Amino acid sequence: MDTPPPLVIFDFDNTLVDSRIDFAAIRGALVDLLESSGPLAEPRGELMRVPIADLVARIGDSAPHLTAQAWATIEAFEAAGLRDATPVPHVYGVLAGLTARGFRLALLTNNARTATERVLAELGLAALIPVTVTRDEVPALKPDPAGIRLVMERAGPHRAACLVGDSWVDGQAAARASIRFVGFGPRRAEVEARGVMPWAWVKDLRELLDLDWNA
């Protein structure tokens, strides 16, 4: 029997596409919303470091009537940030190159499905990634490992899995799912400051083709 292929799961924003989603502004708006329902239980500076999904959960706990407004706020920032998204340099060649080598490819994003699919289609990336999992399908967002587990189920048999992403939430999700994390981009120090230890770190997607995936 043939050995099943490795599975490489990509993050979306600032890994496959350069989007302009202002995640700090989203956190700020959610903290404002939380504060509109009563005094903050934690200092604002602490809350600004909390994953967006956890801020929504805190709003749900203290002011459930504001949950819909929280998601609407997030979607508005996402739509604005994705409007002019561009492909990360070399993404087409790298995805095609990994596929040609027999890798199975997937996408896991905390973004909504509709916006993700629109950008994938507009940029001609949809055909290069067979499995896409968005926040519409996952029981809990990254850094929770649930999305990785769902991707692994949907991707079929594979030998080993790895998550490629630019943010600490990607690295922490990978660690919690007990899979490798390959960091990408300029934020290595910030990611490692969160206690995330990448298996490898690349600054150019083409370096993925040179990694020793069997190591």
Q: Which is nearer to Mg ion, 78 or 166 (CB)?
A: 166
136: number of Cβ within 10 Å:
10
Q: 3-state SS of the chain: helix, strand, coil percent to 5?
A: 45, 15, 40
Shortest reach from residue 11's CB to Mg ion, in Å: 4
Question: Which residue lies nearer to Mg ion by CB, 11 or 78?
Answer: 11
Looking at beta carbons, which residue is closest to Mg ion?
13
User: In whole angstroms, what separates CA 112 from the centre of its chain?
Assistant: 11
* For Mg ion, the closer CB: 159 or 188: 188
CB atoms within 10 A of CB 213: 19
Smaller CB separation from Mg ion, 159 or 187: 187
- Smallest gap from Cβ 186 to Mg ion, in A, equals 12
Question: Could you tell me which residues come within 8 angstroms of residue 8 by beta carbon, excluding any fewer than 6 positions away?
Answer: 98, 103, 104, 105, 106, 161, 162, 164, 208
DSSP state of 147: H
Closest distance to Mg ion from the beta carbon of 23 (Å): 9
Which C-beta is closer to Mg ion: that of 104 or that of 142?
Answer: 142
We find the least distance from the C-beta atom of residue 48 to Mg ion, in angstroms, to be: 18
Task: Please state the closest distance from residue 155 (CB atom) to Mg ion, in A.
Answer: 20
Residues 153-172 binding Mg ion (CB under 5 A) are 166-167
Spatial contact of 111 and 13, defined as CB atoms under 8 Å apart: yes
Which H or E element spans position 29? helix 23-36
Sequence-separated (6 or more) residues with CB below 8 Å from residue 13: 19, 21, 81, 109, 111, 166
Beta carbon nearer to Mg ion, 23 or 213: 23
Helices (H), 37-112: 44-47, 52-62, 67-82, 91-100
To the nearest whole angstrom, how small is the minimum distance from the Cβ of residue 101 to Mg ion?
Answer: 24
- Map the footprint of Mg ion across residues 104-143, applying CB under 5 A: none
The site map against Mg ion for 4-43 (x = CB under 5 A) is -------x-xx-----------------------------
Number of residues this chain uses to bind Mg ion (CB under 5 A): 5
- The contact set with Mg ion (CB under 5 A) reads 11, 13-14, 166-167
